[in-house]
Structure 1
């Protein structure tokens, strides 16, 4: 059983090798006490892989609900944050929108497993946007409701414009499936973290928070700027086997470079980290210590 512990008090020496992920004004420095320079497995198909050291063919473990595979989901969200911060910085030609689905005449609306229907409706919306506004790059993310129904969040970048403004009424008409909400990116200097919170946390009304606290689970509630929410509370609603996000071809992953820690600090361009996280991984097979440092040059 793998256990992860916070705060093992890791110290990084100037000559230690680290991995640097540079995303515009945000940099991540990742240190591992024991770096693995070899690939342990090779994927054969969606169902099987081979262990390179022994030649043994094994099957990937599948879970019935994403709540049983939270580590995989957290890795997906980390990749998503990389993509967002490498391609969106909150420029005036960028929008962050929420696209919802209303019920039809029979009271039906799509759920997270209605993948073909969802993809078709978003594609039609994107085509209408492009016909009117030209080139549009995007990251589209699926978010589930507790009842299994779905809506989208989308980051849109209009490369033919220096500044974009589209009124809600027009976006509603272009979408045509429900209401559209434009979420402000003003004063947001880490869009990846901001969007991740939108996707993973569950907002609580004062009454809901009171009921939740009375149930003995007060410790799970986070209070930020007077707003109460359950951090990561939405994660259990994501099903397995469903693509959580999609992107346009021009949206690229950031480069990751291995270098000495002292060089990484210079590349980060900030005097000190804005956030740090330390993890100790301990299992029967191996143990390792990891440290993550995040630098945001806009906060210098």
Structure 2
């Protein structure tokens, strides 16, 4: 079975056992490691693998061909994207200063960017200037070096941005949780609709159970793909992004997804979807 997910520690932790052939009855995986912007595009084109990790924000463009799986993704609390600015004199310190500035984002169809647009609509008079899409691991150096004015970061950047001398302008996850009371939907696992979604979900859950039961087993695999992260940062990343929602979205998870996509559709940022396609 072909699958695409990111090299980030949460994904490699969840899928290690399946990728290593440790899940009884599961088909062998042919893994493509790809940035979220790439997987979002593959899913939208309908030319990607049978199973992919994408942004929840990209779901409106893919649900006719792919089914959202109730497990394996990233959704939680205290784990949202951050908007960072430079740390030097004259750097941006207030939301209104983002007007007509250059902001880097990891994908135009990422949940991070969607949350940013919902926040900016009420906090940045006149809107921001140019949006620049770049791989997330390039964003912090670009902000530090003054190539861009602000950067939207995800994943382990939450633990490492201070090492770049950067300033957090807003925690968009905290803003979302305060505004809605709901967890933050970040990354979804989807499977082609001609697959047995129940079977795929079962293999993902079995892989996750193995990872939780044998956390040391995946360490080498996780660190080999973690883009120079220290073992402690990788562990912090996993502890934050792999949680009960990864095993089962549940009603709270589905409510968060619906709320995000409905609010975005109200603002004209994404197409409306048939609620029946979410489950």
Same fold (TM over 0.5): no
Choose between structure 1 and 2: higher strand proportion.
1
> Of the two, which has the highest radius of gyration?
1
Query: How high is the TM-score relative to the length of structure 2?
Result: 0.26
Query: How high is the TM-score relative to the length of structure 1?
Result: 0.25
